[in-house]
Chains A and B, each alone.
Chain A
Amino acid sequence: MTALSITYVVLFYVAMIILFGGLINKIMLYARVPAPLKIPVTPAPLTKAGVVYRIFYEVVFFNSLFRGSKWTWIFGWMFHLSLLLAFFRHLRYVISPDSFIWPLVNNMVVQSFGHYAGFTMVIGLAGLLARRILVDRVRYISSPSDYLMLLLIMGIGVTGLGIAYVSHTDVVQLKAFIMGLFLFDWQNLPSDNVLLVHLTLVLLLAVIFPISKLLHAPGLFFAPTRNQVDNPREQRHISPWGAELEAKDGRNA
């Protein structure tokens, strides 16, 4: 194996440990910290099924953002949807052709949508970046990290397009490398520059994820303003520490 391949194998494992370790840690924290009071933003659903629908609608269509800012919605939604399509296309690198889900991934629809999603992803990101620079209010609230995050993901998109259209790589060898990572049967990585930049940026994104604003992804599911059922009069809501207070003075008896 080449030194380069060994380096990337190590980097890959480190990045995945940080990504999943960090994310699980954060998700467990969000789940552990209680919500002591009912604070759904109303009108809110009266049932759990309603809450699932509300969150689903937010996750899939960015409903509140749509109401709040049309430009941000257009660019933001375009970017996220493209990211999802590109992700589906990339699944072909981690699924064996023998697998029963292979046809779900290796078909015209997924592959061609994923192909062009690269462009819409970069356009969406460029729109978000333009807004961040041009709108005085958004510029005011932006830190260097907010710009760098956009540039990082744009870099991933542009290098991805570069591999697809300009500087092709040996995808068979690439797949062997990636499958090898999962099977602990390490293989050589093609040493094309564009590919290496692409992979490096992806690994960087993975490392940053659990320590940055990218935590909005799990956070979305934990916001009490959106995930609580509007039934405070019908069902008593009490947190463990609220119950402790009560037990101490007995005034709710």
Chain B
Amino acid sequence: MADYEVPETHEFPIIPSIMEGAMAHSSPFVAGKEFQDDMGFPSPEEPGKLIDGWKEKFLEIMQDKLNKYRSLQVFMDGCVKCGACTDKCHYFIGTSDPKNMPVARQDLLRKVYRRYFTFAGKYFPKLVGAVDLTEDVIKEMYSYYHQCSECRRCAVFCPFGIDTAEVTMAARDILAMIGMGQKYSNQIIPKVHKIGNNLGLPEPALLDTLEGLEEEIEDDTGVKVRFPLDEKGADILLVTPSADFFAEPHVDGLMGYGKVFHAAGVSWTLSSKASEAANFGLFIGNYEHMREISLRIRDAAKELGVKRIVFGECGHAWRVAYNHLNTLAGPWDFLDQNYPIPQHILEFTKDCLDRGILNIDKSENDHMTLTFHDSCNIARASRIGEDPGSQFTTPRQVIQAVCNNYYDMAPETTHDQTFCCGGGGGLLTDDLMELRIKGALPRMEALKNAVSDKGVTHMAAICAICKSQFTKVLPYYGMTMDQIVSVHQLVSNAIVLDGQGEEAEESDDAEETA
């Protein structure tokens, strides 16, 4: 565990006094030429510099974005600086840096907007806080637009619905196009384009992993649960974050999906071509890349001839799937219209539980007392079910259907007021570790209080990034990495498959007779 200053947690949340420049040093690695090339973005002649004519290019792309995105145009004009958002960002709460207040983060771009695109800023820049576009301004933007996880908590409280995520996405895309792409995201996205997932796992590696899972479940339960890959004619295509193939606790969730499909008796398959639910095109604010990644799912669904698409546990992936898949890769007229397109794995499991076709032994989870972390993109940018707010109820209903001990965390930290894990929005990289630890503060505080007040032992999540982030930061807050679990890991624990344990019992009998 590397050494970082960890903020103190309190019994009640504390809004810090501002500390200017507290996180001015935080900046992720800039993408080198090879990654910028792969993305179709330009690179400067000299590393660390900007491309020739960067200023004109910046303003040109900004104008293009203002013409293409109503959100950006309206949000640039509409802020009255009321301050309602100033204490809502987990990065501000964790770092005290005033530029991490949502309005101040937006202002980095808004100041430039005012200077070059408004009457007041052109003629009275000082009066309205407009600034010239300089290299220092660009550097500041690069730093602070990579201290936003695009979680939208600020947008919940803004009287005008201004969503800083929209501004961050626009700014990141503009920066990438003047040679300041982020290495982490720009390294990952081409792997999806070329291979099919963020990790660059080719088909043989996937096959190997899936066989391993089949063996593990068979050893454990005595039941052969299949994890099919590229199986033509299957009914369901499962698209899941590639972290589910190897990371803990993600993989336990994947085993849970497999068991639910098995118990439900449906035919399903994974695809090596669309072996990634995550879509980092969202994070970097690039429509074309986001569409390109989404279209792989369309192509895979067509090639495999599936009737339905189900998404695994992943926050931003579900945001893109739920809100944008139809826009980017639709229309889905060739799929079975009797099911939601796409469907969330929790919608599938909840339906199975409601119909009583899963055999559940809740006591298998009795060694844990659970709480649930609402992932930001699911809470504030999707539904999991039919009603508004079902994104909160469905996961809780599933958890409570498979666990006896469950408590919510403090209400001001759940549902649409949930705090980001601190690692979302393309920030889940080691070069931002300090930010990730500090940004986790509000969630860690709420969890710690649930641990001490309610005896909570584990926190369940339905997002690959949340799971990875918590695995990493829990130890910094005096907890252990295995305290974060997948929701379908809980389902996996509790589900009793047909034929499960029969062999084991037989062998017990055999031992007794012997």
A residues whose Cβ falls under 8 Å from a Cβ of B = 26, 29-30, 33-39, 41-46, 58, 62, 64-65, 67-69, 72, 76, 131-132, 135-138, 140-146, 148, 211-213, 215-216, 219-220, 222-226, 230, 232-233, 236-239, 241-242, 245, 251-252
Contact = CB atoms under 8 A, between A and B. Distances in A.
B81 A141 contact: yes
Interface stretch (B43-51, B85-93, B458-466, B482-490): B85-93
Contacts of A233: 322, 326, 340-342
Interface in B191-216: none
Nearest to B129: A143
Contact of B388 (A46, A135, A148, A245): A46
B71 A68 contact: no
B118 A34 contact: no
A19 to B, nearest CB: 14
A145 B158 contact: no
A127 to B, nearest CB: 12
B161 A36 contact: no
Interface string B282-295: 00000110010001
A11 B87 CA distance: 43
Contacts of A41: 152, 155-156, 161, 163, 380-381, 416
A212 B128 CA distance: 9
Contact of B69 (A35, A45, A76): A35
A241 B83 contact: no
B162 A223 contact: yes
A67 to B, nearest CB: 6
Contacts of B124: 145
B501 interface: no
Nearest to A30: B74
Contacts of B327: 36-38, 232, 236-238, 242
A226 B126 CA distance: 32
Contact of A232 (B152, B326, B388): B326
Contacts of B160: 216, 219-220, 223, 226
Given A72-B82, A242-B327, 7 more contacts: A34-B70, A43-B388, A64-B158, A65-B84, A144-B129, A216-B80, A224-B161
B84 A68 contact: yes
Nearest to B415: A43
Interface string B318-348: 0000111011111100000000111000000
B477 interface: no
15 contacts: A26-B77, A35-B69, A39-B71, A42-B380, A43-B383, A68-B159, A140-B18, A141-B101, A211-B118, A219-B74, A222-B74, A223-B161, A223-B162, A232-B324, A242-B328
Top-5 shortest CB links A-B:
A68-B157, A219-B78, A143-B129, A68-B84, A223-B161
B81 to A, nearest CB: 5
A42 B391 contact: yes
Contact of B120 (A72, A145, A146): A145
A236 B157 contact: no
B17 interface: yes
B73 A33 contact: yes
Contacts of B88: 68
B7 interface: no
A67 B78 contact: no
Contact of B159 (A62, A137, A215, A238): A62
Interface of B: 15, 17-18, 66-71, 73-75, 77-88, 98, 101, 103-104, 107, 118-120, 124, 126-129, 152, 155-163, 166, 287-288, 291, 295, 298, 322-324, 326-331, 340-342, 379-383, 388-389, 391, 416
Given A131-B83, A145-B120, A224-B71, A42 B388 contact: yes
B379 A42 contact: yes
Contacts of A237: 326-327
Contact of B70 (A30, A131, A230, A238): A30
Contacts of B84: 64-65, 68-69, 72
A41 B389 CA distance: 11
Contact of A33 (B68, B342, B381): B68
A67 B322 CA distance: 27
A239 B291 CA distance: 13
Contact of A36 (B69, B75, B340, B388): B69
Contacts of B159: 58, 62, 64-65, 68, 76, 216, 220
B157 A39 contact: no
Contacts of A144: 126-129
B335 to A, nearest CB: 11
Contacts of A137: 15, 18, 83, 86-87, 98, 101
Given A30-B70, A35-B69, A42-B391, A212 B82 contact: no
Contacts of A143: 81, 127-129
